[in-house]
Amino acid sequence: MDIKILITWLIPLFPLSGWLLWGLFGKYFKGLSGYIASGFVGVSFILSVVLFFIVAYSHGFTDTLYPWVHAGIFKAGVSAVIDRLSVVMLVMVTGVSTLVHIYSIGYMEGEKGFSRYFSFLNLFVFSMIMLVISNNLLLLYVFWEAVGFCSYVLIGFWYEKKSASDAGKKAFIVNRIGDFGFAAGIFLLFATTKTLNYETVFTFIPSMPVYTTTAIALLLFAGAVGKSAQFPLHVWLPDAMEGPTPVSALIHAATMVTAGVYMIARFHIIFSYSPAASEVVLAVGTFTAFFAAFIALTQFDIKRIIAYSTISQLGYMFMAVGIGSYTAGIFHLISHAVFKGLLFLTAGSVMHGLSGELDLRKMGGLYSKMKTTAVTFIVGGLALSGIPPFSGFFSKDAILADIYNKGFYFAWAIGEITALMTAFYIFRLIFLAFFSESKLDPAKHVHESSKIMTVPMIILASLAVIIGFLGMPPFNESLFYGFLHTDFKNAAVFAPAVNNVPWYILSLISVLMGLSGIYAAYILYIKKTVSPEKIKSIFKPLYALSYNKVYIDEIYNFLIVKPMLVFFDFLWRVVDIKIIDGAVNGTASAFSFFSVKARKIQNGMLMSYILTLSIGAVALLFYYFIR
Partner 1 sequence: MHNMPSIYGMNFLEKSMLGIIPETVIIIFAFFVLFLAFFEKLAKRNNSYYLSLIGIVFSILYVLMLAGRNISGFYGSFVFNGFDAFLFIAILFSGLFTVLMSKDYIENSGMPAPEYYSLILFGLSAMMFLVSSNNLIMVFLSLEFMSICAYILTGYIKDNTRSTEAALKYFVLGAFASAFLLFGSVFIYASTGRLNLYGIHSFLQNVSYLGVAGSGGSIGIKVYISAGLILFLIGLAFKMSLFPFHSWTPDAYDGAPTPVTNFMATGIKLAAFAIFLRIYSLIYDFNVMNFNDILWLLAVFSMTFGNIAALLSTNIKRLLAYSSIAQAGYILTGIIGGGFYGYSGTLFYLLSYIFMTAGAFSVVIIFENSNLISLDIKKYSGIGYKYPFIAASMSFFLLSFAGIPITSGFMGKFYVFSSAVKSGYNWLVIIALLNSAFAAFYYIKIIVKMYMPDKEPAAASSNSSVQGNIPEIAGGAIDEGIMITIIICLILTLFMGIFPQIFINFANNSAGFLWRI
Partner 2 sequence: MNNYLTVASIIFCIGALGVITRKNLIVVFMSLELMFNAANLGFVAASNYLNLISGDIFVIFIIVVAAAEAAIALGIAIAFYREKGTLDIDRANELKN
Partner 3 sequence: MDFFIKHLLSVLIFFPAASIFLLLPINKKNQGVLRNLSTFLSLVELIFSFYLFVYFKQDTYKFQFVEKSSWIPSFGASYFLGIDGVSLFLILLTTLLTFISLLSSYRYIKEHVKEFVILMLLLETFMIGTFASLDVLLFYLFWEFMLIPMYFIIGMWGTGKRVYSAVKFVLYTLSGSLIMLFGLIYIFIMHYNQTGNFTFNILRLYNTNIPSGLQLILFIALFLGFAIKIPLFPFHTWLPDAHTEAPTAGSVILAGVLLKFGVYGFFRFAIPLLPEAAFTLAPFVIILGVIGILYGAFVSIVQKDLKRLVAFSSVSHMGFIMLGLFAMSVISINGAVLQLLNHGIATGALFLFVGMLYERMHTRQIKDFGGIAKKAPVFTALFMISVLASVGLPGLNGFIGEFLILIGSFHSYPVLTVIATSGIIFAAVYLLWMFQRVMFQGVTNPAAENFEDMNLREIITVLPLIILMFLIGFYPMPFLERIDPTVLHFVSMLNHHNIVYNVIKLKTGLSNA
Binding interface with partner 2 (CB under 8 A): 599, 602-607, 610-611, 614
Cβ-based nearer residue to partner 3, 23 or 60: 23
Should residue 624 be labelled a site residue for partner 1 when binding is judged by CB under 8 A? yes
Should residue 177 be labelled a site residue for partner 3 when binding is judged by CB under 8 A? yes
Q: Give the separation between CA 468 and CA 181, rounded to whole angstroms.
A: 35
Q: How far is the CB of 577 from partner 2 (least distance, A)?
A: 34
Report yes or no: 147 and 131 within 8 Å, Cβ to Cβ: yes
Give the one residue of 9, 46, 64, 166 binding partner 3; rule: CB under 8 A.
Answer: 166
Cβ-based nearer residue to partner 1, 211 or 591: 591
The DSSP 8-state label assigned to residue 274 in this structure reads: -
Q: How far is the CB of 179 from partner 3 (least distance, A)?
A: 8
Instruction: Give the footprint of partner 1 on residues 542-581 (CB under 8 A).
Output: none
Cβ-based nearer residue to partner 3, 87 or 138: 138
Should residue 593 be labelled a site residue for partner 3 when binding is judged by CB under 8 A? no
Instruction: Give the footprint of partner 3 on residues 71-110 (CB under 8 A).
Output: 71-74
Should residue 599 be labelled a site residue for partner 1 when binding is judged by CB under 8 A? yes
Report yes or no: 236 and 168 within 8 Å, Cβ to Cβ: no
- What does 616 interact with, of partner 1, partner 2, partner 3, none (CB < 5 to 8 A by kind)? partner 1
Q: Give the separation between CA 37 and CA 44, rounded to whole angstroms.
A: 11
Within 228-325, residue ranges assigned H as helices are 236-239, 245-249, 259-266, 268-272, 275-296, 302-322
Per DSSP, the three-state class of 57 is: helix
Q: How far is the CB of 189 from partner 3 (least distance, A)?
A: 10
Cβ-based nearer residue to partner 3, 113 or 365: 113
Should residue 585 be labelled a site residue for partner 1 when binding is judged by CB under 8 A? no
Should residue 571 be labelled a site residue for partner 3 when binding is judged by CB under 8 A? yes
Q: How far is the CB of 195 from partner 1 (least distance, A)?
A: 49
- What does 612 interact with, of partner 3, partner 2, partner 1, none (CB < 5 to 8 A by kind)? partner 1
Q: How far is the CB of 622 from partner 1 (least distance, A)?
A: 10
On the question of a cis peptide bond just before residue 209, with omega within 30 degrees of 0, the verdict is no
The helix (run of H) or strand (run of E) holding residue 75 is: strand 74-82
Dihedral of alpha carbons 417, 423, 429, 432, sign: negative
- What does 567 interact with, of partner 1, partner 3, partner 2, none (CB < 5 to 8 A by kind)? partner 3
- What does 571 interact with, of partner 3, partner 1, partner 2, none (CB < 5 to 8 A by kind)? partner 3
Closest CA to 47 of 125, 141, 150, 119: 125
Amino acid at 461: A
- Only one of the segments 25-33, 45-53, 56-64, 615-623 lies at the binding site for partner 1 (rule: CB under 8 A); that segment is 615-623
Q: Phi and psi for 70 in degrees, rounded to 5?
A: -120, 115
Q: Please, which residues have CB within 8 angstroms of residue 413's CB and are 6 or more apart in sequence? A: none
The helix (run of H) or strand (run of E) holding residue 87 is: helix 84-107
Amino acid at 326: Y
Q: How far is the CB of 276 from partner 1 (least distance, A)?
A: 58
Q: How far is the CB of 579 from partner 1 (least distance, A)?
A: 21
295 burial class (0-12, 13-18, 19+ CB within 10 angstroms)? Answer: buried
Inter-CA distances, 567 with 176, 564, 581, Å: 21, 5, 18
Report yes or no: 63 and 79 within 8 Å, Cβ to Cβ: yes
Give the one residue of 37, 183, 374, 411 binding partner 3; rule: CB under 8 A.
Answer: 183
Cβ-based nearer residue to partner 3, 368 or 585: 585
Give the one residue of 67, 474, 502, 616 binding partner 3; rule: CB under 8 A.
Answer: 67
On the question of a cis peptide bond just before residue 244, with omega within 30 degrees of 0, the verdict is no
Q: Give the separation between CA 109 and CA 45, rounded to whole angstroms.
A: 24
Should residue 25 be labelled a site residue for partner 3 when binding is judged by CB under 8 A? no
Residues that bind partner 3 (CB under 8 A): 23, 66-74, 138, 141-146, 149, 152, 156, 159-160, 162, 165-166, 169, 172-173, 176-177, 179-180, 183-184, 186-188, 190-191, 565, 567-569, 571-572, 576, 580-581, 584, 588
